[in-house]
């Protein structure tokens, strides 16, 4: 089969790409041909179909350009004529058996669904966040969980300035949701895949095409995990690790506050983001010499650092959809201390594969860190449980069988 896989990026860009890369490899291993549709970028992996990709949209430069250019970019992020035109050309050149959509909001946009529907191409969409039911995408407003847009009341995004604390940005986000709801292109999708039970239940509670929602955990190719295991930590250094974007919703600030009570425990932080400088100031202010910022690392380097750690901390403060960092740590036989929010408790089973704490509660987190760090037997037991649990939960063959139920011809 010729399978169209659509994603805003065609290079390593986060958890969504981890899934896309695993998905592409899976389809190819099963004898299918993958045709990508994405956005042009110098970082993209090479593809014979790259000429069909849409032009790059870099929102970081919008404010540095003219007002007219900025308006054009904003309108393009809501309704992309270019994406429709380029996809039409691609579909004229290549016969597509079905389309697998991933992250397309703000870049490729749901307007492409109309083109696919016109060609009678079956459509699966793996949801990676909450944009169709939350204009801000994360259910976070000014650092707090917010569900005020329930029932399609997207104007709340504007009145509460949920998007970047900005009225213009929040207006664009709300307008985007209203446009897509009015055009009703979402109805063209045959199946929406939710990667966790929490994610599924949240979309279901918002009455988002409930008859089309399917809960199906991601697959994962554990080959890189096995490679990382062969690298031994020869200096006997003891440390714990945090891996993720340095943004408020990821909870690194809570972790640093917790580390004030753990002066003898070394924390390594992998990742970059808008909060990086603020976090470094927090470290310096509280003389946290036990905290090291490692910046951005490639996949194999990250896995090797996790493999050498005592355990991983996932301190997220938003409705985490799944979290491949947790998957990878557990596959490396590392217990995880995770916040009890979103899909994290589906992976981190309290007192079995790790420890849970109340999101944002630095005191509970520091207690959990000290407890697990001090107990070697408990860490080993939880680590073994973690590996067994995650390989059962996040399983490529199970994922493919789930896809076959949606597209029998697979």
| CA distance to 171, 172, 341, 382, 410, per residue, from 128 (Å) | 23, 21, 16, 28, 22
Q: Give the mean pLDDT per block of 10 residues along the chain (410 residues).
A: 97 90 95 97 96 81 48 73 95 96 93 96 97 95 94 95 89 91 95 98 97 96 87 81 95 97 96 95 95 94 95 97 95 98 97 98 98 97 97 96 93
Q: Are residues 232 and 102 part of one domain? A: no
- Tell whether 203 is covered by a domain: yes
- Tell whether 151 is covered by a domain: no
pLDDT at position 234? 66
d(CA 197, CA 226): 28
d(CA 78, CA 104): 11
Residue 70: how many other CB atoms lie within 10 Å: 16
Q: Are residues 236 and 107 part of one domain? A: no
- Tell whether 175 is covered by a domain: no
Q: Are residues 339 and 238 part of one domain? A: yes
**CB-based contact 218:399 (threshold 8 Å):** yes
Q: Are residues 247 and 215 part of one domain? A: no
Q: Nearest to residue 372, comparing CAs of 291, 280, 258?
A: 258
Q: What distance separates the 2 farthest-apart alpha carbons in the chain?
A: 63
pLDDT at position 227? 87
**CB-based contact 35:121 (threshold 8 Å):** no
Q: Are residues 201 and 256 part of one domain? A: no
**CB-based contact 34:3 (threshold 8 Å):** yes
- Tell whether 148 is covered by a domain: no
Q: What is the CATH number of the domain that holds 333?
A: 3.40.50.2000
Q: Are residues 272 and 200 part of one domain? A: no
Q: Are residues 256 and 114 part of one domain? A: no
Q: Are residues 373 and 241 part of one domain? A: yes
pLDDT at position 73? 62
Q: Are residues 399 and 389 part of one domain? A: no
Q: Are residues 114 and 88 part of one domain? A: yes
Q: Are residues 279 and 202 part of one domain? A: no
Host domain of residue 389: 223-393
Number of domains in the chain: 2
Q: Are residues 240 and 354 part of one domain? A: yes
Instruction: Tell me if residue 35 falls in helix, strand or coil.
Output: strand
0.85 exceeded by pTM: yes
pLDDT at position 306? 96
């Amino acid at each position: 089969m010729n399978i169209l896989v659509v994603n805003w990026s065609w290079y390593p860009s986060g958890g969504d790409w981890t899934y896309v890369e695993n998905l592409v490899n899976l389809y190819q291993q099963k004898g299918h041909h993958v045709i990508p549709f994405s956005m042009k970028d110098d970082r993209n992996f090479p593809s014979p179909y790259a000429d069909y990709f849409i032009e790059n949209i870099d929102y970081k430069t919008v404010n540095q350009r003219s007002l007219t250019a900025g308006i054009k970019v904003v309108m393009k992020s809501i309704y992309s004529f270019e994406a429709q035109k380029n996809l039409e050309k691609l579909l004229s050149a290549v016969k597509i058996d079905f389309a697998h959509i991933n992250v397309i909001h703000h870049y490729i946009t749901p307007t492409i669904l109309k083109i696919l529907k016109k060609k009678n191409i079956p459509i699966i969409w793996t949801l990676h966040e909450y944009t169709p039911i939350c204009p801000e995408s994360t259910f976070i407003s000014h650092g707090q969980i917010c569900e005020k847009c329930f029932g399609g009341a997207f104007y709340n995004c504007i009145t509460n300035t949920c998007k970047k604390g900005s009225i213009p940005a929040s207006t664009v986000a709300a307008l985007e949701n209203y446009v897509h709801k009015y055009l009703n292109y979402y109805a063209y999708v045959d199946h929406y895949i939710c990667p966790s039970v929490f994610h599924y239940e949240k979309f279901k509670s918002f009455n988002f095409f409930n008859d089309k929602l399917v809960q199906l955990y991601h697959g994962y190719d554990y080959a890189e995990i096995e490679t990382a295991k062969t690298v031994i930590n020869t200096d006997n250094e003891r440390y714990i690790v945090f891996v993720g974007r340095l943004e408020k919703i990821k909870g690194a600030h809570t972790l640093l506050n917790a580390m004030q009570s753990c002066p003898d425990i070394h924390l390594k932080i992998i990742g970059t983001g808008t909060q990086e400088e603020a976090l470094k100031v927090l470290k310096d202010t509280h003389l946290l010499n036990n905290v090291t910022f490692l910046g951005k690392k490639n996949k194999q380097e990250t896995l090797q650092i996790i493999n050498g750690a005592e355990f991983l901390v996932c301190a997220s403060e938003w409705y985490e959809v799944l979290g491949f960092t947790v998957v990878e740590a557990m596959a490396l036989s590392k217990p995880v201390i995770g916040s009890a929010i979103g899909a994290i408790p589906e992976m981190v089973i309290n007192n079995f594969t790790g420890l849970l704490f109340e999101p944002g509660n630095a005191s509970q987190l520091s207690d959990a860190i000290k407890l697990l760090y001090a107990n070697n037997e408990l860490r080993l037991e939880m680590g073994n449980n973690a590996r067994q649990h995650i390989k059962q939960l996040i399983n490529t063959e199970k994922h493919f069988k789930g896809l076959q139920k949606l597209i029998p011809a697979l």
